[in-house]
Amino acid sequence: MAAPGWASRPRYAPSDFITLLWRERWLMLLIFLVIFGVGAAFAFTLKKSYPASASILVQLGQEYVYEPRAGDAARGAVPENDSLVQSEVEILMSAQLRERTIRRIGLGALYPALGEKYAAAPPAGKAQVMAKAVEDFGKNLTVGSAPDNPVVRIGFEHESGEMAARAVNTLLEEYLIYRRTVLIQPSSPVLERQRVLFEDQLVQADTAYQEFLTTNDIGDFNAQKGALTGLIGQIETQRQMAEVTLQDRRARLATLDGQLAQVAPEIGLFRDIDPAAATRLAALRLQREEMLSRYLPGAQPVKDVEAQIGQLEAGMNTGRTQTDGARRIGVNPVHQTLQTDRIQTAAEVAALEQSLAAYARQAQQATAQLQRLAIIEPQYQALTMDRDVLQSSVRDFTVKERQDDAARQIASETNDNIRIVDRAVAPTRGDSLRKPVFALAFLFGAFSALCAGLIRVFLRPGLPTPASASRTLDMPVLGVAAYKGR
C-alpha cells in the first residue's frame, strides 16, 4: 500500500508536461493573445525616428593652460587629453546648452505639442514646459568619445530627418559660443583692485624711501656704500705705499747726515806759485850768455855767474826757493749736493708724515661714514625690499591684466582648438522600435502563457495522468475510466 503523503506529491515525466499543457491550451492562448495584443498595440504607437550625427576634434587650447592669479607656481600646466575631452563632453551635454539650442530653433518647430502648451501656459508654467522640452532633447541626444581619442561624436534623433540634422548643427554652433562663456573667465575687477592697492602701497613705500634718503643725506645708498668701501681700500693702499716710501726717505736722510759729517763744507779752489827763482835763474843764464860774448869761458866774471846759476838750480831742485803765492777757498760742491739732497729728503719725509696723518684722518672719516651706513642699512634694506616687492607686484598684475584681456579677446573671436570634423546631414533612413517591441511582446506573451499553464497544472488536485499515478503510487495502473461529471 502506498504511503499516505505520496498522493500530494505527484511525480511527472517530461512527456506528461506536453499532455498537461495541451489540456490548458485555451487558457494559455487567451493569456498570450491578451499580452501580445497589448504589446502590438503599443508597437503601432511608436513612430519612426531619424538619427543625425556629427563629430568634432578637440585639441588643447589656451583656455586650458593654467595661469595663476599671482606668482608663477604651476604656470603653464595643462590637463590630460582625456580630461580635456570629458570637459568638452560635459559642456555638450549641459542643460543650458540644450535650452539655448531649443530657443534658437524654436520650441514649436522642434516639439509642436510642447510648443502649443508653451504658448498657452501662464508665465509660471512656461518654465516647466521648457524644462520638459530640455529633458526630452537630452533623452534623444547622445554625446560620447572613446578613450585616448580626441574626437567627440554627437547624435540626435527626431521624427523629422531634417529637424534632427538642424538640431545637431544648431547645437554645435551654440556650443562654440557657449563654451567661451564657460571656459573663459570674464574680466574680473579683483586684479584691478589688487593692482590699485599695490600701487597705493608703492606710493607710500616710495615716500618712506625718499624720506629715509633725505633724512640721512644719502643720494644713492648702494653707490655711496660702494664708494666708501673703495675709498677706504684706496686710502689703505696709498697709506701702505706712503709708509714704505717714508721708511726709504728716512733711511736715505740718515745716510745723507752721515755723509755730510764726513765732507768739509769748504775746499781750496786754487793757489798761485811764486816764479821769482825761475825768473832769476833765467836772468842769470841770460847774463852768462852776454858775458861769454865778451869774456872767455874761464874768466872770473863768468865763473861767478855760473856759480850763482848752479847754486840757484840746487836750491830750486831741493825746493828751497819755492814759496806759495795767492790762495782761493770756496764752497765744496759735494757738500753742497749732499746738503741739497738732505733738504729735499727732509722735505719729502715731512710731506710723507703729513700725508700719513691725512690718510689716517680720511680713513677714520670714511670708516665712520661706513659704520653709520651699516647701522641704517637694515632699515634701508627693509624699505628697498618692500619697494621692490611692490614694484614687482604692480608690474606682474599689470602684465596679468593685459594678458587676460588679450586672451579673452582672442578666445572670444576664435575656437581654433575645436574643429568640426563632420557636420550633420539629413538622414534618409529612419529607425523604429516596432520590430523589437513586436518580438518582445511575442516572447513575453508566450512566456506568460507558459507560466500560467504550468501554474494551472501544478494547482490541479489528484493525479493528472495514468503514468504519473503509476510513478507516484509505485503501483501499476491496470485500467483507466473516463471522468464523468455529476
Amino acid found at 476: P
Max mean pLDDT range (76-80, 291-295, 458-462):
291-295
Query: Contact 113/101 with Cβ under 8 angstroms?
Result: no
The answer to whether residues 38 and 63 belong to one domain is: no
Same domain, 286 and 358: yes
For residue 480, is it within any domain? no
Q: What is the DSSP letter of 431?
A: B
Identify whether 94 is part of a domain.
yes
Q: Are residues 264 and 344 in the same domain?
A: yes
Whole-prediction pTM value? 0.47
Counting the structural domains of the chain, the total is: 3
| Domain identity same for 289 and 305 | yes
Question: Is residue 89 in a domain?
Answer: yes
The reply to whether 193 falls in a domain is no
Residue 78 · residue 66 · CB < 8 Å: yes
pLDDT tens digits along 341-375: 889 988 988 998 898 899 889 888 888 888 888 88
Residues 437, 344, single domain; the answer is: no
What does the alpha-carbon distance between residue 82 and residue 301 come to, in Å, rounded to a whole number? Answer: 161
Chain segment 440-454, per-residue pLDDT in tens: 888 888 888 888 877
Asked if 38 and 73 sit in the same domain, the reply is: no
% of residues, the chain, pLDDT over 70: 74
Q: Are residues 330 and 282 in the same domain?
A: yes
Average pLDDT over residues 27-42: 83
Based on the fold, state whether residues 242 and 292 are members of the same structural domain.
yes
pLDDT at 209: 83
- Residue 241: its pLDDT value, please? 92
Q: What is the grid cell recorded at 320?
A: 828751497
| Residue 218, domain member (yes or no) | no
Residue 294, helix vs strand vs coil: coil
- Report if residue 219 sits inside a domain: no
Element (H, E) at 50: strand 50-58
Kindly state whether residues 143 and 276 are assigned to the same domain.
Answer: no
Strands (DSSP E) contained in 175-288 are 266-273
The CB density around residue 300, as the number of other CB atoms within 10 Å, is 9
Q: Is the pLDDT assigned to residue 161 strictly greater than 60? A: yes
State residue 3's pLDDT score.
43
Which pLDDT score, from 0 to 100, does residue 119 have? Answer: 86
Cell of 176: 562654440
Assigned domain for 412 exists: no
**E strand or H helix at 421:** strand 418-422
Q: Pick from 139, 168, 183: which residue ends a domain?
A: 183
Q: Look at strands 266-273 and 141-145 and give their pairing.
A: unpaired
124 and 241 housed in the same domain: no
The domain boundary residue, chosen from 183, 214, 248: 183
Instruction: Tell which wins on pLDDT, 83 or 365.
Output: 365
State whether 373 and 242 are in the same domain.
yes
Indicate the DSSP class of residue 49: B
Determine contact, residues 312/252, Cβ cutoff 8 Å.
no
Other C-beta atoms closer than 10 Å to the C-beta of 250 total 16
Q: Residue 264: what pLDDT?
A: 76
Q: What angle do CA 447, 451, 457 make, to 5 degrees?
A: 145
| Spatial separation of the C-alpha atoms in residues 359 and 344, rounded to whole Å | 22
- Higher-confidence residue of 4 and 286: namely 286
76 conformational bin, left if phi > 0, alpha if psi -120 to 50, beta if neither: left
Domain that holds residue 107: 50-183
Question: pLDDT class for 434, splitting at 50, 70, 90?
Answer: low
What are the respective helix, strand and coil percentages of the chain, to the nearest 5?
70, 10, 20
Q: For residue 6, what are the CA distances in angstroms to 11, 122, 463, 472, 474?
A: 9, 73, 11, 6, 9
**What DSSP designation does 465 have?**
S
Q: Is residue 403 part of a domain?
A: no
Whether the CB-CB separation of 205 and 390 falls below 8 Å is answered with yes
Residue with more model confidence, 20 or 337: 337
Angle at 156 between CA 151 and CA 160, to 5 degrees: 140
CA–CA dist 171, 167 (Å, integer): 6
Using an 8 Å Cβ cutoff, are 154 and 174 in contact? Answer: no
Termini Cα distance of the chain: 29
State the Rg of the chain over Cα: 68
Q: Looking at the structure, do residues 328 and 349 belong to the same domain, yes or no? A: yes
pLDDT band at 477 (very low <50, low <70, confident <90, very high): low
Nearest to 152 by CA among 164, 162, 143: 143
Give me the chain's average pLDDT, please.
77
- pLDDT single digits (tens) 246-259: 899 889 888 888 88
